[in-house]
Structure 1
C-alpha cells in the first residue's frame, strides 16, 4: 500500500472516528470507555490547524485513512503553552508497517517551525511497539505511573516520555 502522510482534512473525520472508536472498544490506548460521536469529533477537529503547534497529521492510502498523529495542548495552564502532548492511532490492519514512525517523523518535523518547545507522550502498558516507537524518535523515559487508571475493571500503568522539539544536534 502506498501511504501519503499529510495534514488532516475535514473529510477524514469519519475514518478518524472509526480508528479512535476501535481503540475505545478493544484496547487501552485511550482511557475512554464510551465511543465518541461524530459531533464530539467535530469539536475535537476544530482544535487543530495546518499551522501552529496543534496539528493533526494523517496517513492515507488506497482511498482510506490508515492512521493519524496529533500534537495537542498538554495542559491549560499558561506555563505549558509551549509544551504539546502527542498521540498516534493506527487502524488495526496498519499496525506494524512503519506508518506510526512516518506519522511521528512528519509531525515532529512540522513542530520545529512552531513555538512548541517540548513534546510529551504517554504510553499505556503493555505496548512494546509504542514504547519502541517513542525511543526510536529520541524520546526519553520520564517515569511510569503504576496502576493509576482503570478501564473496564483492569488497572493500567503508563510510561511517560519527553523530548525537546529541536534536538541539540539538529539545531543550526
Structure 2
C-alpha cells in the first residue's frame, strides 16, 4: 500500500468528530491504547476537539475513499502551561479495519515532520507499557523512554504502567521546506 497516494490527510473539521470518536471508541474494549474504560460521546469530545488549532496543535484525519480511517493530533502538555509551549503530546488512532497497514506510523511520521513548523521541539508519546505495537513504532522513529510510571492504571482488572517516550525535534531553520498537511 502506497499510503501517500492512497490516503488523504487533512485538517479535521467538526463534521469529522463522529468518525474520530468512533475510531477512538474502537480502542476502548481492548485496553491497549486508552485509559477510558467506556466509550466516549461526541459531546464528551467537543471541547477537546475545539482545543486543536491547525497553527499550533493540529488534528488531522486520514481518509481513503472519503471515509475517515485514522486520525493524529497534538495536544498541549501539562494543561498548556506556557513554559511547556514547545512540548506537545501526540495521539494516533487507526480504525480496527485499517490497522496493521502502516497508517499509524505514516501519520506519526508526517506529524513529526510538521512539528518544526509548529514550534514543537519535544514530542511526547504516552502509552501503556504492554502496548508493544506503539513501542516498536516509537523505537523506530527515535523516541526514547523518559519515564515509566508502573502500575498506575487498572485496565480490565490488570495493573498497567505508563511509558512516557520523548522525541527531540530540532527547531525550524529559516528557509526550511514546509510540510503540507494535505496530500
- TM-score with structure 1 setting the length: 0.88
* Higher RCO, Cα 8 Å, sep 6+: 2
Equivalence for 2:24: 20
Q: How far apart are 1:58 and its partner, in Å?
A: 1.4
**Which consecutive unaligned segments of at least 5 residues does structure 2 have?**
177-183
Return structure 1 stretches of 4+ with deviation > 3 angstroms: none
Equivalence for 1:110: 114
Alignment pair present for 1:138 and 2:136: no
Alignment pair present for 1:62 and 2:80: no
Report the Cα distance in structure 2 between the residues aligned to 1:105 and 1:90, rounded to whole angstroms. Answer: 14
Q: Is the 8 A contact 2:31 2:155 kept in 1?
A: no
Q: Number of aligned pairs? A: 169
The Cα RMSD (Å) is 2.1
Report the Cα distance in structure 1 between the residues aligned to 2:140 and 2:18, rounded to whole angstroms. Answer: 30
**Which consecutive unaligned segments of at least 5 residues does structure 1 have?**
none
- TM-score with structure 2 setting the length: 0.84
Report the Cα distance in structure 1 between the residues aligned to 2:126 and 2:97, rounded to whole angstroms. Answer: 22
Report the Cα distance in structure 2 between the residues aligned to 1:127 and 1:151, rounded to whole angstroms. Answer: 12
Alignment pair present for 1:155 and 2:135: no
Q: Is the 8 A contact 1:69 1:87 kept in 2?
A: yes
